[in-house]
Structure 1
């Protein structure tokens, strides 16, 4: 049974935004989350654990991107979260430098 057309995204730009936000944006957020954690805690344990948890987080973020109504808002959200995690990473490196 095919999907109901009223629930599918009509605009090709929205479809492009959702697909790229899911693949690229979700990956960037997942990696930045683990980098931010590694800058504040024991980086060896975080990096080893991130081989599993980054994939799980990425899959969750992909689902969230496709559930959203507007792909550009998801891109904005993912960029905002990535920038925030980048600041956390930056200040973590400044306060607790890795020796």
Structure 2
């Protein structure tokens, strides 16, 4: 028995959620680790730990857009957080 169509999202929303999780989540986790490397005194420690922690954060951020009803809002939040982190890294 197929799923009820009123509970399924449109193809545009599926693309937005998938791309926000896949690409946006990776970019956000990489930006977070970049900023941590700048804030902490020794970026070598961040590089060593980011081998594992980057993928753990990425997988967490991959799931988050599916909690939104609108995938474009997830993109907006991810881009806003990335810009805020990059602006804070210049201070």
Q: TM-score, normalised by structure 1?
A: 0.82
Corresponding residue for residue 75 of structure 2: 75
Point out where structure 1 has 5 or more consecutive residues left out of the alignment: 92-99
Point out where structure 2 has 5 or more consecutive residues left out of the alignment: none
Aligned length: 90
- Give the aligned CA root-mean-square deviation in angstroms: 1.5
The answer as to 2:19 corresponding to 1:20 is yes
Q: Which whole-Å CA distance do the structure 1 matches of 2:43 and 2:21 have between them?
A: 27
Corresponding residue for residue 38 of structure 2: 39
Give the Å deviation of 1:6.
3.9
Moved over 6 A (4+): none
Give the Å deviation of 1:89.
2.2
